Copies of this chain bind each other. A is one copy, B any other.
Amino acid sequence: MPPEKESTVVPLSKRKIACKDCSLFQICLPVGITGEELERLEQIIQRRRPVKRGDHLYHGGDSFRSIYAVRSGSIKSYVPTESGNEQVTGFHLPGELLGLDAIVHKTHPCSAKALETASVCEIPYEEFELLSNELPVLHRQLIALMSKEIFEEEIHTILLGKKSAEERLAAYLYSISSRYYRRGFSATEFYLSMSRNDIGNYLGLAVETVSRMFTRFQDDGLLSVERKHIVIHDLIRLKTMAGAVPGKCGERFFCLKNS
């Protein structure tokens, strides 16, 4: 192990990887930010030292300072409830933002915990806001990402309000699969970083129900599951089982006819 001093001299947080060299650049900053604009943004972004499994990025009730972008690993958002339970409100994979729900009240309504070792970019919000006033493209990007989050929460509402246990798990797995695929990973084979408990909680189901559904899916030949390791054999069928989701179907939205 190198002497304490050396690691202090070159702390991890200083070993910056430029946004432009980040594999998530297209996901995190899809709008055309270039050259000088990007450099100025990078000046305010802080790369935090990797967070270890179980570490918190923030707790419910903490005052709001920054939003965060996941670079690697995965983060769970949850609201602790009075009874000592929690409600999981989301999982954040690389390229995704968290903390947007804290802007209004300048306080984090939920806690964020690493499900595995993860690295995260911290974007101090005040500085980001100041910079955005000069670079409107940043505002536009933030607003688009927030709109997306609202949209996705609506999808989750449909899931919780209308879908059966089977549809919920299918929709969940399909969502995870799509998100990994978009980031260049396999859509059909991945490790779930969250426990069955977390999945059940997020989907509004008991753990046991989640387990049973995994078993059923495996018996049906839809996928193979061994603990956290998932291999999907029939992605199309999985998507079908997940049921209707609002969004583009080909180039049109579905069911305009019914509305």
Cβ < 8 Å to B, chain A residues 76-106: 79-87, 89, 100-105
Q: Is the CB of B59 within 8 A of A154?
A: no
A160: which of B79, B84, B105, B204 is its contact (CB, 8 Å)? B204
Q: Shortest Cβ distance from A15 into chain B, in angstroms?
A: 30
Interface check A177, CB cutoff 8 A = no
Interface check A151, CB cutoff 8 A = yes
The proximity string for A residues 132-166 relative to B, scoring 1 for CB distances below 8 Å and 0 otherwise, is 11001001101111111111011011101110000
Q: Is the CB of A147 within 8 A of B101?
A: yes
The proximity string for A residues 188-214 relative to B, scoring 1 for CB distances below 8 Å and 0 otherwise, is 000000000000011110000000000
Q: Is the CB of B151 within 8 A of A246?
A: no
Stretch at the interface among A114-122, A225-233, A247-255: A247-255
The distance in angstroms between the C-alpha atoms of A123 and B145, with both chains bound, is: 20
Q: Shortest Cβ distance from A210 into chain B, in angstroms?
A: 13
On chain B, the residues within 8 Å of A221 by CB distance are none
Q: Is the CB of A84 within 8 A of B204?
A: no
Interface check A50, CB cutoff 8 A = no
A147: which of B87, B100, B201 is its contact (CB, 8 Å)? B100
The distance in angstroms between the C-alpha atoms of A101 and B154, with both chains bound, is: 9
A136: which of B105, B133, B157, B244 is its contact (CB, 8 Å)? B133
Q: Is the CB of A154 within 8 A of B89?
A: yes
Q: Is the CB of B258 within 8 A of A87?
A: no
Interface check A39, CB cutoff 8 A = no
Q: Is the CB of B100 within 8 A of A150?
A: yes
On chain B, the residues within 8 Å of A156 by CB distance are 153, 157
Q: Is the CB of A84 within 8 A of B258?
A: yes
Interface check A17, CB cutoff 8 A = no
Interface check A234, CB cutoff 8 A = no
On chain B, the residues within 8 Å of A160 by CB distance are 157, 160-161, 204
Q: Shortest Cβ distance from A136 into chain B, in angstroms?
A: 5
Interface centre among A101, A133, A140, A252 (most CB of B within 10 A): A101
Q: Shortest Cβ distance from A84 into chain B, in angstroms?
A: 5
The distance in angstroms between the C-alpha atoms of A154 and B154, with both chains bound, is: 10
Interface check A73, CB cutoff 8 A = no
Q: A80-B256, A89-B154 are in contact. List 13 more A-B contacts (CB 8 A).
A: A79-B154, A80-B255, A81-B246, A82-B254, A87-B161, A100-B150, A101-B150, A109-B154, A111-B259, A143-B143, A150-B153, A153-B153, A153-B157
The distance in angstroms between the C-alpha atoms of A239 and B254, with both chains bound, is: 39
